[in-house]
Amino acid sequence: MSFLRQLLRRNDGGVPSELRQQLRRLEKRIGYRFTDSILLVSALRHRSVLNKENLGRHESNERLEFLGDAVLDFIIAEYFYHLFPGMVEGQLTKLRSVIVSGTALVEAARRIDLGSHLILSENEDRAGGRNRASILEDAFEALIGAIYLDRGIAPAREFVETHLLDNWREVVKKDEYVNFKSLVLEHAQANSWDSPEYRLVEETGPDHSKRFVVEIFLNGESFGRGDGSSKKSAEQKAASVAASKLGLLGSDDLDSDSASG
């Protein structure tokens, strides 16, 4: 047993029969059967249940999410590298950033009904945690990490290609899926600029209904503003304005490479 798997395993307690039945339903839905069910439990276990179950922080799905994020990046990069042998690095990077964006991962998680299988605290469950985008995104990546630890890169690749890459052409056409912050950051790095700076310029509304306005600066110059219900969404919108000004959103090169693939 690998060192990582030993750290993830809870003593030798196994999986209760009721939970095992729930896991089997998820396995059937994703088309993958775990050899080690403890890994699947770990991928589904949100940190909100740790105190109740007297578990350490490392026993939530956050470690598997960390691993799954890296595995996902590799699988996506490899997939498009082979699919488009004539595509340049910048376009490959753009494709990857779109596919691994939070929105695309959340939609993939919802398609497999991942939320209904999450192991959450009662409070988190009542607060809508099963449908919360950040929780679904993390759990989807954790699931990839669990599959990788269970039986290696081949089944992890099959899972990603089946449940995330099956409609990649439709995904890349939707601006809502583009990780604009990544695009702008990569452009800045390619030109040896400093990292983009996001300045909060306005915050309004009550705590339950905040609105944020963020301005993005590159090399000390403002490239636009964005607003949203969170700082993260406002930054994403500001980055989309900057990406448009920088000419990073044109689809002609991608379309021509797609046609040749």
69 an active-site residue?
A: yes
Element (H, E) at 44: helix 37-44
Catalytic residue among 59, 124, 141, 235: 141
What do you get for the CA distance between the two ends of the chain, in Å? 41
What residues pair up with 218 in beta bridges, in sequence order? 221
Annotated catalytic, 141?
A: yes
Exposure pattern of 69-89 as b/e (b: 16+ CB <10 Å)? Answer: bebbeebbbebbeeebeebee
Q: What three-state secondary structure class fits 258?
A: helix
Q: Which two tokens stand for residue 59?
A: 């026993």
Catalytic residue, chosen from 69, 124, 138, 215, is: 69
Q: Helices 89-99 and 252-260, interaxial angle, to 10°?
A: 90
The amino acid at residue 36 is D
Distance CA 91, CA 98 (A): 11
Q: Whole-angstrom Cα distance, residue 205 to residue 208?
A: 8
Q: What share of the chain is helix, strand, coil (3-state, %, to 5)?
A: 65, 10, 25
The bridge status of strand 221-228 relative to strand 211-218 is antiparallel
SS3 158: helix
User: Known catalytic residues?
Assistant: 69, 141
